[in-house]
A and B are shown apart, each in its own frame.
Chain A
Amino acid sequence: MADFMLEKEEVNKHASALVAPLNIQKSPKRSRSRELSHVRQSSSRGTASVKSHSQISPPLTPRTSREGLPQRQSVQPVFHNYLRAFYHFHPSSTVSSSTDESSITVPINQGDVILVHSVHPNGWADGTLLASGARGWLPTNYCEAYDHATIRNLLNALTHLWDLVRDGENGDLLVFTKQDYVRGMIAGVRFFLERTQCLTRDSPLVLAHVGLRRMRKGLLGDLSSLVKTAKKLQETLQSNESPVPVFEQLDELVLKSFKLVTRAVRFLDIWAQDAISLSFDLSDASNNRPPTPPSDSVDPSVQPSATPNQNGEEVALANEYPSSVSQASAAATQEELDSVTSQPPRNLRLSVAFSIPSESDSLQSPLLPPPSQGQAKRLSVTHRLSYTGKSQGSRKQNLASERLNNAHDAFLGFIGSFIGLHLQSRSSEDLTLTTQQSVIACRQLLVVVEEIWERDSRRSEQLEQARDMMYARLTELVQATKDMFSASDASLGEDVVMPESGRQLVAAATSCVRSAGDCVTRARFVIERIGDFEFENIGLGLSETIFEQIGQGAQQEVEQSEPEQPPQLEPAIETEKPLPAPPTAIRQLPPPLVISESKPLPEIPQPSPLESNRASLQPAPVPAIVESPTAVSFRSSRSSLPPLNQLPTPHLPQPSPSEYSQSPASATQRFFSNSTRTDSVNASVADSNSTFRYSMRGDTGSIISQASTRATTPDHSPAKKQSSQTLVSSFGSASELRSMASEDASAAEEHLLETTFAHELVYNKDGQISGGSLPALVEQLTTHEATPDAVFVTAFYLTFRLFTTPVELAQCLIDRFDYIGDSQSVGLPVRLRIYNVFKGWLESHWIGESDSAALGIILTFATGKLRKSLPGAGKRLAELTIKVTEIRAGALVPRLVSSLGKTGISNTIFTAADTNVPNPIISKSQLNALRGSKEGRASCSILDFDPLEMARQFTIIESKLYCSIQPEELLALEWTKKNGSKAVNVRAMSTLSNDLANLVADTILLLEDAKKRAIIIKQWVKIAVKCLELNNYDSLMAIICSLNSSMVLRLKKTWELVSVKTKARLEELKIIMDVGRNYAVLRQRLQNHVAPCIPFVGIYLTDLTFVDVGNGTTRQLPGESGRDSVSVINFDKHMKTAKIIGQLQSFQVPYRLAAVPEMQDWMEQQIHRVRASDQANVQSYYRRSLFLEPREATQAIKVSPSPVDSSSQSSFSAESRTNSKDKFEFLGFQFSTTNSSKDR
């Protein structure tokens, strides 16, 4: 670093002589220092590449590492989505350019921002110029990663949009029927303006700085135009027209967003410069800056003076008289400038562009770390992993992720047929072939995984494990096949496969599939981390020994077929060929593989400050550049594409000619028009104009900075939400004051800059919202262009208390009401939705206990803001708040309407109550007997009644409880709370279930005669079968459990007397209620059920527990890894919870069965009897069981001398240890005795 400082000083000395501002020198200087160390190498390589192209040359590092190579090597290569050109690069000026090549090598200018699609190891990147939409290859060493906290959201939004459009080209246009993606852009712009403190027209910075003001206006114009395009697209899609105009609109959409971002970048450049030169209080922004390199520690106050006027770098100052600066004067200044300063107009622009990187140096996040030499061979092409992930695959088949998917799919396909073969045909010939195919496929997959693993500098251990595991599985599979063949050969000599070994094979194959899945998951994870890349070759790097065991002939066969497999297997990069011709047919959009490895990067322009100075003054090579981008449009593939210059000009209020010339909007012309020369003049004029005045202000800079500090501080006050309101209103007043723009424009701005939190949302792969901040979620609840997703709304209502408080929610809704304004197109619909959200909450989802805290706020809102805006709604909401209070005071019913989220189907099935109710199967004598037993005159047995009727009555009792389960009981593990659990109904369900189980055990164990016990068992099995017929799985489970409990199951003599038929039935039931494979059978059945039904509640309870435990409460916003990553609510977790609860609720439909009160009374009486008896615990039942059928000597397990077992031989009724405290003491005693008596 020391020498670096020295160099800086040196630079400082030269500063006044430099054209570019001070900071700029850092970059060329840096490259010079690199040049010193690398120049020989690179130049020699350059010549070598011409002669022999076989050499895989390490990429020229795009930026030199100051820290030195060793440190760099440890750096994980990070893929940057955006680069910014540091130098001009014009391919025609470089050596060895054929005509073909220039068509795909895209020229770049200083300051150009590039969306990168992939980076080849030789340092060339496939990118799209935002300025022109041109796509092609460009040298990364001319560029530098572009990223800044202020603009990051916007860039991310653009990346997202780009991915969406890529998807859209593949026909996936669904997303464009909503406008979420545009909201992302809006949010990005908003965030950007907020961070730059230019959100409102009144903000001091905007007032003070004409350039910024214009840029801001232009930015909003661009945004408005983008939104319009999006709307048009939406309409087109909804009207279902032919896809052609849609594609054109997609093009337009992308170009407009490019334009928007380009302008934002320029905005940021100007802003950053002025922010520093004026020493604005930028604590907000600067806090988020990455650590400033030492070179930037130059006193900012030096800079303005060090920035010479001749440079055209302008620090004009309008700050002193912000409002008095008239258009006319500005225009005048501009003309002066035109004549005086800007001899070649391009210079102005260049210098502006040139100043950009210097500024961004201090602002930027870490530079693109150049791949180290060692990695060079591996890093073929790095690709941006698409957010949406669907699109690129079809084209970039060589992408690692794509290869992985393909290989996995192929593998699954083969192994699927492999397994299928075993289940059906038994031809061993087929089998051999399929086995081999699967093995080959598996091997392919392993190769891909291997490649990915090696690419990962961290060498993910987990991936390695998974890979090894899979390899082992494969070996097993092969071995199993081999075994089988040898076995069949030996035993029968026929092509008959033993079923046993077949099963084994299938098992092996299945486990192979499983481990492959695991492996692929891990590999994907790694890819996500290191960025996608492309394969160079497909060398099968794995040991092939195990595969050889299968049989050579077949092996060869497969080998032959191999080349026919996915075409991407062919080595796509021909290292031997000199500079292969790039695809002229540009239909293959990304031509990433065509560039020869050895193609050298162009030499970086001479880095000495003086020379670069000179370079920037040379206008010569530049003009041509601007034309070529248009030739290669970003979607050059489509021949029908209209020429870019025919695109509608940015949507802006029609300005007068004089205005036009100085409007920053004119700058955009430069990017999109073919008449390069004149337009560039225009642009540079605009720039110089605004900045010139600043330069005049140079001396008084410090004074102004103080003033502005004071002025900007209010913006940092906590009342940030307020600013959004003032924003809206400020437009109106501002336009009146200054007539800068027409009324139309300000109105457009108003709803354009609609506050949005779309950037704080996370979507999952299915496009569902999986996370977001509270404001973002509330926004989704109240979108203006579409009715909110019903599932989302239900989940939100159900779970919001888990991630926010009612007060917070109410406040957030009211904030939304405030910031959305009352515009006809956006404000009013949203406000109505906000009212609806409140209404739904109060009507159907109100929980007085927790929500009453928010009642005051809601009432104030209803009678205040809401009534003012929507009188009717305000009145109704106010009424509701009162209603809710009354009900809360009066009844225990926690809600007005108990129709929460029941999913449609089940409700419709429920028809009028009286129709079609089956008659109870019960005779008069039975009823009399029941009545008698109630009075204690007679006693009944379960054998006295029809099993179906008993099952019905149980079901009615159970259903009553089940239907009264409230969703709140199921949230946040409420039912597991030991004390004061509100989950009364869930608790009652489990109690009833236990009671029923105990009743079963009790009725069986009550009888001393084994024959009688067997009859009782039979009766219970019958009841269980009827329960199944009634879809009462909960009772069924209880009965099965009891019949399978140790105390019943061990009664061998009894079971011997149970008929085979009964046992078989019981087995069937057991299979249905099998707990294995995560209740797979039961879940399957429940999926196809219609209500009424009583599912086994335990499944839901376990699911809810694991959703709660297995998913975090927050998740990170994507794309912002590292230091300032933001965590938002993990809504996915709540969606899952709501889904499970929704399932449970969908069955909450009462049965159409006639109750027999007498029987129910009797049942409850029995249950109470069992519950009250001392025996109602497992231990006493077990003792009873032992008493009935003592252990046989042979079956006896080694009985530990614990008091439990020894006492079990004595009277079962003697001991009662139901009191838990007793039990504990008793157990404690056991410990002490066993400790001494036993010595194992």
Chain B
Amino acid sequence: MSQREYHIVVLGSGGVGKSCLTAQFVQNVWIESYDPTIEDSYRKAIEVDGRHVILEILDTAGTEQFTAMRELYMKTGQGFLLVFSITSMSSLYELTELREQIRRIKEDDNVPMVLVGNKSDLEDDRSVPRPRAFKISQDWGNVPYYETSARRRANVDEVFVDLCRQIIHKDQREYNKRVPKPQKGRNKHRQHRGHRIPHCTIL
């Protein structure tokens, strides 16, 4: 099987550290000079469950104020990281609107998605209780919820791998759908969602 390329969009309001999350994931630790202006700046090859995939990450950091552009970004994505800061309740609320927008533009309820509570290193400043965020992720349809610390590089890779896994599964389901095995699609997928134990990973 040839190498797949998946598009991941990182969303979240300004200041939640999503660019830091992306930069941490994309750049190799030892790179002493990171240049974001080249084509490959946001590409990374990873291995998920034995598959080699290339992730192209679209992170709109810095352009949050260009709200009209969001949907253009969203259109390109197959999976979404919705990032908020555990130190800011409003950053979580803003995600709800973003998620609605994703569902609209994708015309799909089951877009691969991960809810990410960043800045877990700032536990003292936490203003989003973990259960609260987890509950929201449940309400979104058992979307996995992670707490990360981009600064400490905690859970960073896990978030992207989880999302990538979801995309791969969805990919396969759709492939199966096209190959005449019609009735299975939905059920299987639900089953799968159920199988994945909702988890809240904290480091």
A interface residues (Cβ-Cβ under 8 A, vs B): 462, 469, 472-473, 476, 480, 504, 507-508, 511, 514-515, 518, 521-522, 525, 764, 770, 973, 975-976, 978, 987, 990-991, 993-994, 996-998, 1037-1038, 1040-1042, 1044-1046, 1049-1050, 1073, 1075-1078, 1080, 1083, 1098, 1101-1107, 1109-1111, 1115, 1132-1133, 1136, 1140, 1178-1179, 1182, 1195, 1197-1198, 1200, 1202, 1204, 1223-1224, 1227-1228, 1230-1231, 1234-1235, 1238, 1240
A911 CB to closest chain B CB (Å) equals 31
Closest to B136 in A: A1231
Across the interface, do A978 and B14 meet the contact criterion of CB distance under 8 Å?
A: yes
Partner of B97, one of A1104, A1106, A1227: A1227
Chain B residues within 8 Å of A1078, by CB: 36-42
Residue from B2, B39, B45 in contact with A1080 in the complex, judged by beta carbons closer than 8 Å = B39
Q: Which residues of B contact A462 (CB under 8 A)?
A: 28
Cα–Cα distance between A160 and B2 once the two chains are bound (Å): 47
If A1098-B69, A1228-B93, A1231-B136 touch, whether A1110 touches B34 (CB-CB below 8 Å) is yes
**Contacts A976-B14, A1106-B34, A1110-B36 known; A1041 to B65 CB distance under 8 Å?**
no
- A350–B163 alpha-carbon span in the complex (Å): 71
Query: Which of B28, B32, B103, B105 has its CB near the most chain A CB atoms (within 10 A)?
Result: B32
Closest 5 CB pairs of A and B: A997-B68, A1106-B36, A1110-B34, A1105-B62, A1101-B62
Instruction: Please state if B63 and A1240 are interface contacts (CB–CB under 8 Å).
Output: no
In the complex, the chain B residue whose C-beta lies closest to that of A1104 is B62
Query: A978, B36: Cβ atoms under 8 Å?
Result: no
B132-190 residues at the A interface, CB under 8 angstroms: 135-136, 138-139, 141-142
A1224 surroundings in chain B (CB, below 8 A)? 90, 93
Separation of A1107 and B34 alpha carbons in the complex (Å): 7
User: Is the CB of B125 closer than 8 A to any CB of chain A?
Assistant: no
A173 to chain B, nearest CB (A): 26
A1077–B3 CA distance with the chains assembled, in angstroms: 17
Contact yes or no, A1046 B71, CB < 8 A: yes
CA A362 to CA B59, docked complex, whole Å: 54
> Which residues on A sit within 8 Å (CB–CB) of B108?
1197
Asked if B104 contacts A1046 (CB within 8 A), the reply is yes
> A508–B67 contact, CB under 8 A?
no
Pairwise interchain contact A1041-B93, C-beta atoms closer than 8 A: no
Q: Which residue of A lies closest to B107 (CB)?
A: A1197
Contact flags (1/0) for B51-64 with A, using CB distance below 8 Å? 01010101111111
- Beta-carbon nearest neighbor of A1200 in chain B: B109
- The answer to whether A1040 touches B59 (Cβ under 8 A) is no
**A1197:B109 contact, CB within 8 angstroms:** yes
Asked whether, in the complex, the Cβ of B58 is within 8 Å of the Cβ of A1075, the reply is: yes
* Complex contact A973–B33 (CB within 8 A): no
Q: Contact: B71 with A987, CB < 8 Å?
A: no
B37 with A1083: CB separation less than 8 A? yes
Q: Report chain B residues within 8 Å CB of A1040.
A: 72
Question: 13 new A-B pairs (CB below 8 Å) besides A993-B66, A1050-B107, A1107-B36?
Answer: A514-B43, A764-B33, A976-B64, A994-B66, A1040-B72, A1045-B71, A1078-B36, A1105-B61, A1105-B62, A1106-B41, A1109-B61, A1115-B32, A1204-B100
Residue of A nearest to B53 (CB): A511
Q: Which residues of B contact A1076 (CB under 8 A)?
A: 7, 56, 58, 76
Residue B68 contacts which of A998, A1136, A1140, A1228 (CB distance < 8 angstroms)?
Answer: A998
What are 5 pairs between A and B in contact, CB < 8 Å?
Answer: A993-B66, A1076-B56, A1105-B19, A1109-B20, A1202-B100
A1102 touches B60 (CB 8 A): yes
Question: Given A480-B2, A976-B62, are A1102 and B36 also a contact pair (CB < 8 Å)?
Answer: yes
Please indicate the chain B residues that have their CB under 8 angstroms from the CB of A1136 in the complex.
Answer: 33, 35
Contact A469 B36 (CB under 8 A): no
- CB pair B62–A1197 under 8 Å, yes or no, is no
- Closest A residue to B77 using CB positions: A1075
Q: Mark B19-32, 1 if CB is under 8 A from A, else 0.
A: 11011000110101
Given the complex, which residues of B lie within 8 Å of A1230, measured CB to CB? 96
Which residues does chain B contribute within 8 Å of A1106, judged by CB atoms?
19, 22-23, 34, 36, 41, 59, 61-62
Contact A504 B104 (CB under 8 A): no
CA distance A1038 to B28 in the complex (A): 34
B93 touching A1077, Cβ below 8 Å: no
A469/B107 in contact, CB under 8 A: no
| B101 is an interface residue with CB less than 8 A from chain A | yes
Contacts of B103 in A (CB 8 A): 1197, 1200
For A990, the chain B residues whose CB sits under 8 A away are 63, 65-66
